[in-house]
Amino acid sequence: MTNCTAGRGDEISGGAASVLRLVRVAEPTSVGHSGTRVLCLVSTNGANHDDNLEAVRSTWGWRCHGFLAFSDTMDLNRSAVVAPVPEGRAPAWQSVRSMWRYISYHYASEFDWFLSVNDDAMVIVENLVAYLGRPGLQAQRASGSGTYLGFRLVAPNPDFPGPYNSGGAGYVLDRAALHKMMTCMDAEDGCGAAIMAHDLAEDMALGSSLHAAGVFAYEARDELHRNRFHPFSPETIPASDGRDWLGEYTKKNEHAKFGLEDISPETVTFDGLHDSALLFAHRYLYYCLHAPSTPVVAGLSTT
């Protein structure tokens, strides 16, 4: 029996419930819909396989058209692989580069879009697929110019080249963006060497790399300037008022919103939900607020 009472200690908080009540789950899209096949990528580590990664797999991971976890420990039962990471400076960025190189080599031709999140993310896959299927994004994808979606930030440092997307909120690349980024990274005098010299945070480094490759952070908010991608958990969002680092990094976004005003009904991601918190939030959204839906894909794809 699902407990749908918000605020109980063994379920979700009232604040989280107030956020999730603003979200709507889109009608599932058929498996073979052209132009919207998504490979979901999760960054994790061996210590989190039994809790965070298992929670991801049992809630939203199996709804993706393809699913793969990148870890420091091989675990094929949980679709977790290890991508070779070269030694050197900026190890976190090296791990990100290795993940994308692995995907570029093995899966670039099989999927239209690639979502990257951490193992404490909640993804509403139906909303992601519905969003990616919009005519504007399909035209952008078809143009081959490269598409880079997420929660857009602008670094206060004036020397940083431009907007980038939060790693915590997750980000999405289309196939053209992946190809352009890898071409840039692998060039002898390309973006990869310059980024490593600055030891940037990995999400900033990836944004800088894409910028150097001619791919820029796309406007992913809805028509009322509410975000679809969120770098916080549902529980903490109501208290957000922009008087912290978030306000500093989003103040250049026109019509920036905070707290409940920033929740799009078409929300795709939340961050910061560790195992049981993810299970409770998923159950509340899918079984208390909405009737159980048919999955995007009938079963987990281990790619």
| pLDDT reported for residue 194 | 63
Question: Within 10 A of 205 (CB to CB), how many other CB atoms are there?
Answer: 25
Q: Is residue 195 very low, low, confident or very high in pLDDT (cuts 50, 70, 90)?
A: low
| pLDDT reported for residue 296 | 44
Q: With pLDDT > 70 as the criterion, what percentage of the chain qualifies?
A: 85
Q: Which residue has the higher pLDDT, 149 or 292?
A: 149
| pLDDT reported for residue 76 | 86
Tens of pLDDT, residues 246-295: 888 887 788 889 999 999 999 999 999 999 999 999 999 999 997 554 44
Does the pLDDT at position 119 exceed 80?
yes
Average pLDDT, the chain: 87
Task: Name the nearest CA neighbour of 151 among 185, 174, 117, 189.
Answer: 117
Please give the average per-residue pLDDT across 200-217, as a whole number: 91
Between 120-124, 151-155, 287-291, the lowest mean confidence (pLDDT) is in 287-291
Top-confidence range, 144-153, 155-164, 207-216: 144-153
Please give the average per-residue pLDDT across 206-215, as a whole number: 92
Burial 12-23 (b: 16+ CB within 10 A, else e): bbebbbbbbbbb
Q: Specify whether the CB–CB gap between 152 and 302 falls below 8 A.
A: no
Tens of pLDDT, residues 49-91: 999 999 999 999 999 999 999 998 999 888 989 887 665 556 7
| Sequence-separated (6 or more) residues with CB below 8 Å from residue 107 | 39, 66, 68, 114, 303
Measure Cα distances from 225 to 141, 151, 162, 172, 261 in Å: 22, 11, 19, 19, 9
| pLDDT reported for residue 243 | 79
Class of domain 14-289: alpha beta
Q: Is residue 7 very low, low, confident or very high in pLDDT (cuts 50, 70, 90)?
A: very low
| pLDDT reported for residue 231 | 95
* Torsion over CA: 8, 10, 16, 20 (sign): negative
The Cα 301–Cα 119 span in angstroms is 17
Q: Is residue 187 very low, low, confident or very high in pLDDT (cuts 50, 70, 90)?
A: confident
Please give the average per-residue pLDDT across 119-132, as a whole number: 96
Q: Which residue has the higher pLDDT, 3 or 59?
A: 59
